[in-house]
Amino acid sequence: MDTMELILRISIGFLVLFVMTRVMGRKEISQMTFFNFVSAIAVGSITANLVANQNFSVRNGVIALVGWTAYTLVMDMIDIKSKKARKVVTGSPITVVKEGKIIEDAMQQSRLDLDSLKAMLRQKNVFSLKDVDYAIFETNGKLSVMKKQDKQSVNKKDMNVGSQQTTYPMATEVVSDGRILSNNLSKLNLDNKWLEQQLQQAGVDSVEDVFYAEVQQDGTLFIDSKDNLLH
């Protein structure tokens, strides 16, 4: 491939990619679903081949870009016009926390683990699962969160506690899927005996029955029991 051909391929690839991305719209970036993500990768890959692969003719490259863009636009139209098709193409939002209770089946369905859920909550300035009323995992991979009514407008006065009460800088996870996190307990100057006493007071016979538990800032224990205990 000589220099002039390379410059020509780069120019054509740039112009076609620019036009195609403008035609496909801003949804490719601002509301990217899994299909949008795959589509963006495919368009970029076709453009790269158009520029660098001399065995890939300019004509075929342009046709491939236009064809892929056309299919993407058709899928977008179907997504807009048909609710049933939209569920097939982009899926449906999944409620992973409902009325303060973690929905384990929904977590598995969305392939979301506890650490990822807590990280997404922190991005929403929520540092304790106890503060969450509802959390919905959206089709674009983002988490929508509704706090409990009494946690929606917390000020410094609300957070003040008695001087003799033990307080912590933030909520700390101490049980994950029936397993005690001893290191976290130690950081709080607590032990397994304290945890077992708290569980017994809450009517929980064994730590194996706990899906998630965390020590709150005020020293109390928030417990989320496994779903099988509710049936």
Residue 229: DSSP 8-state: G
User: According to the model, what pLDDT value does residue 71 have?
Assistant: 85
Average pLDDT (181-195) is 92
| pLDDT band at 224; cut points 50, 70, 90 | very high
Residue 177: DSSP 8-state: T
Judged against a pLDDT cut of 60, whether residue 26 lies above it is answered with: no
Biggest CA–CA distance in the chain, Å, is 80
Q: How far is CA 167 from CA 102, 170, 172, 218, 220, in A?
A: 25, 9, 12, 5, 9
User: According to the model, what pLDDT value does residue 231 have?
Assistant: 38
Specify the range with the lowest mean pLDDT, choosing from 18-22, 133-137, 149-153: 149-153
Average pLDDT (56-82) is 84
How far, in Å, CA of 132 to CA of 224, rounded?
12
Judged against a pLDDT cut of 70, whether residue 36 lies above it is answered with: yes
User: According to the model, what pLDDT value does residue 134 have?
Assistant: 92
Judged against a pLDDT cut of 80, whether residue 23 lies above it is answered with: no
**Whole-number average pLDDT of the chain:** 82
> What order do you get walking across the sheet with 94-98 strand by strand?
101-102, 94-98, 132-137, 143-147
What's the whole-model pTM score? 0.59
User: According to the model, what pLDDT value does residue 230 have?
Assistant: 44
Structure tokens at 58: 């300019």
How far, in Å, CA of 25 to CA of 43, rounded?
14
